[in-house]
Amino acid sequence: MDSLFTLSAGDFRLVDLTLRLSLALMAGVALLLGLSTMCVERQFRFPLIFGSVALLGAAWFESGIARAWEAAFELAGNSYCVTGLPLLSEDRILAWAIGLPAIIFCFGLALLDRSSRAFRNLCWLTFALAVLGPVSNVFFLIGFLLCADQIRRGISPHSECMAARRVHSSSGAILSCRAALLGMVAGILLMEAGHRNLLPIGKTADLILVQGELVRSLGDILALVLPAAALLVCIFNLPDKEMQDS
């Protein structure tokens, strides 16, 4: 029974429940972003709408992973045997390529001055990340680091963005942005460690399959769901009006 082609009923249902949970969290946060547009000032609505649409798109691809998991196994007695259908790992790549750059772009919309060089650079970098990220893992890592660096520079108290906007610094908004970036970093590191076999996820084929899928689902939550929730907190912590010149 401990083979690549057979999973226990408990292992199959554990992965199935985890995939459904990550999908439900992603879709729920996306809907919450969209509904929250009724509670914020007009200038803050577009980041919420854009983030909601992008996260719903990522959730659609994630739903393909859950459906593929169910189709890849069939019940045979007290265990599940493979059917030969693929698990569609490329759906997760596309979900990240849509969701992660979009959330970073939304933080730029919310926190950076839109006429600044940092914001223009961020627009090009997030576009390149979305286009080239699925092509190469190296491009994805480099693009993410460059985007994170632009955000970090932009939210610095002495940056040109903050000076140009003359907004009252909101520690809650900045902390939310940093928490989102840390969640993305944690998710990416987790996925990279899994790809390079640096995680102790088991020695047998079925254990590697099950625990590997659990790790990837946790990476989805850290890299997509947590940053999207942090974006909502960031928007609600922004001041309603820019500071006037004294």
pLDDT digits (tens, 9 = 90+) for 108-149: 998 888 888 888 999 999 999 999 988 888 899 999 999 999
Within its chain, how far is the Cα of 76 from the centroid?
36
What are the DSSP calls for 164-223, one per residue?
HHTPPP-HHHHHHHHHHHHHHHHHHHHHHHHHTT-S---SSHHHHHHHHHHHHHHHHIII
CA 153 to CA 27: how far, in whole Å?
31
Query: Is 241 a member of any domain?
Result: no
Task: List, for residues 184-193, the tens digit of each pLDDT value.
Answer: 999 999 998 8
Query: Is 1 a member of any domain?
Result: no
Q: What is the pLDDT of residue 246?
A: 32
CATH code assigned at 121 = 1.20.1070.10
Query: Is 171 a member of any domain?
Result: yes
| pLDDT (average), residues 2-15 | 79
Domain with 121, as residue range(s), is: 6-236
Q: How confident is the model at residue 237 (pLDDT cuts 50, 70, 90)?
A: confident
Q: How confident is the model at residue 218 (pLDDT cuts 50, 70, 90)?
A: very high
Q: What is the pLDDT of residue 164?
A: 45
User: How much of the chain exceeds pLDDT 90, in percent?
Assistant: 52
| pLDDT (average), residues 192-214 | 83
Query: Is 82 a member of any domain?
Result: yes
Whole-Å CA distances, 224 to 51, 54, 158, 164: 11, 10, 29, 30
Q: For residue 55, which of 15, 17, 105 has the smallest C-alpha distance?
A: 105
The structural domain count of the chain equals 1
Query: Is 243 a member of any domain?
Result: no
Hey, what are 57's tokens?
A: 């798109």
The residue that leads in pLDDT, 7 or 186, is 186
What 3-state DSSP class applies to 112?
coil
Query: Is 242 a member of any domain?
Result: no
The mean-pLDDT minimum among 24-38, 50-64, 155-169, 184-198 falls in 155-169
Place of tokens 């990220």: 133
User: How much of the chain exceeds pLDDT 70, in percent?
Assistant: 89
Burial string for 229-245 (b: 16+ CB within 10 Å, else e) reads bbbbebbebbeeeeeee
Burial of residue 181 (number of CB atoms within 10 Å: 0-12, 13-18, 19+): buried
Q: Mean pLDDT across the chain, nearest whole number?
A: 85
Query: Is 246 a member of any domain?
Result: no
Query: Is 206 a member of any domain?
Result: yes
